[in-house]
Structure 1
Amino acid sequence: MTVRIGVITFPGSLDDRDAQRAVKVAGAEPVALWHGDHDLQGVDALILPGGFSYGDYLRAGAIAARAPIMAEVIDAAGTGMPILGICNGFQMLVEAHLLPGGLIRNAHQQFIRRDQKLRVENADTAWTSAFEQGEEIVIPLKNADGGYICSAETLERIEGEGQVAFRYLGVNPNGSLDDIAGLTNDAGNVVGLMPHPEHAVEAGFGPDTSAAMRSGLDGLRFFSSAIAAVVGASA
């Protein structure tokens, strides 16, 4: 079967085309979706891409979370559709209450860009099944509002229930509580993270590795995981 993965463009999206290319490289069909529509065009999975939707006015992701298409995104999440929020997309997911907590300005008050080491904390989601639990990976990071926050009660719950999907290693780049870099919902179909896996899917364009410069491909397994989840669900 051909897996169709929708990528939603919002005003100010920057990485929507990169996400579409990552979907194609992984072997699925990318479908461009528009924030002002109410039509998901029958896609099998969704990506909310990085960028600065609506200029990050009010709060990063807050206005985009109320865009017309988000009503369909919320409904799709409830049916179990795999949904990935990358950076600004992660901010949209927490603002839409599809993931708990919030994301605020980096603790050092500056935009940061780096190749970031992560530990996979939950390999049992629609977007992480191609990883091993505890595996260390490197994914590019670029954000100004990546500090994850939540109440003490919520933090205890998400830690206890395995909703932390990724954790920063080596350095906490933005002051996130418990070094949290990404989350999953209870069902495991919705995942959000601040780093950008779509920038680590092709040799010559990814992070440096011990093998060669720009050879890191750790991001590709996010998209292959989603493809496998869709195919498995339809079997």
Structure 2
Amino acid sequence: MARRKKLYEGKAKILYEGPEPGTLVQYFKDDATAFNAQKKDVIEGKGVLNNRLSEFFMTGLSRIGVPNHFIKRLNMREQLIRQVEIIPLEVIVRNFAAGSMAKRLGLEEGATLPRPIVEFSYKDDALGDPLVPEEYIIAFGWASQQDLDDIVALALRVNDFMSGVMHGVGIKLVDFKIEIGRVWEGDYMRLIVADEISPDSCRLWDIETGQKLDKDVFRQDLGSLNDAYTEVAKRLGVLPSNVTHATKPTLIN
């Protein structure tokens, strides 16, 4: 499709003006970043995989009634999405201790949490996306108490869906983060899942071996990020099972 006006460029995606009012075109880049963009690289094919995997998850959420911004995939790297007003929070759901939580609380990496825990961080790269309590969120007007209740409910529904899908293909959903946006339908406002859901935004471990199949492979120099993402895509049926490397993936429509 013809290139349109660029509205925003982030670390992993670019947003362009959509073909109709209230829509955007989301383009997935091959850029990989970690540690608040202190570590960078370009991984050929990563954007193609994340585009298709995010489509897979968003479509699945739609089927079970979880509202989200996805409309349709346009091509290998782009998808048409609803334009939303992003709430300036990252919503983090944790099922097992890992990453910053394990370090903060001195927990063993991989320890099962007593229940899924929802955390919020303030979206600001310059500040390192600091964790914030609900009191801050309400006081600064980023979201109301009702919004937060609805966000937690949405996040836990996403967690139930994602955990089940991943467990079915032998993958443990350790944690993930999503973003939530506001959309208006007349005078009525509702909250929907936005941004993306992909191995960039999840921690995914093989249930039997503990092998990491997410961006920690890049963070910790554990091997090929493309191979890890390709393995996730193969297990979910997004890639043919006989594909061994996805530098230039052949995707299933």
Q: TM-score, normalised by structure 2?
A: 0.28
Query: Rg larger in 1 or in 2?
Result: 2
- Give me the TM-score of the superposition, normalised by structure 1: 0.29
> Quick one: higher RCO (CA 8 Å, sep 6+), 1 or 2?
1
**Greater share of strand:** 2
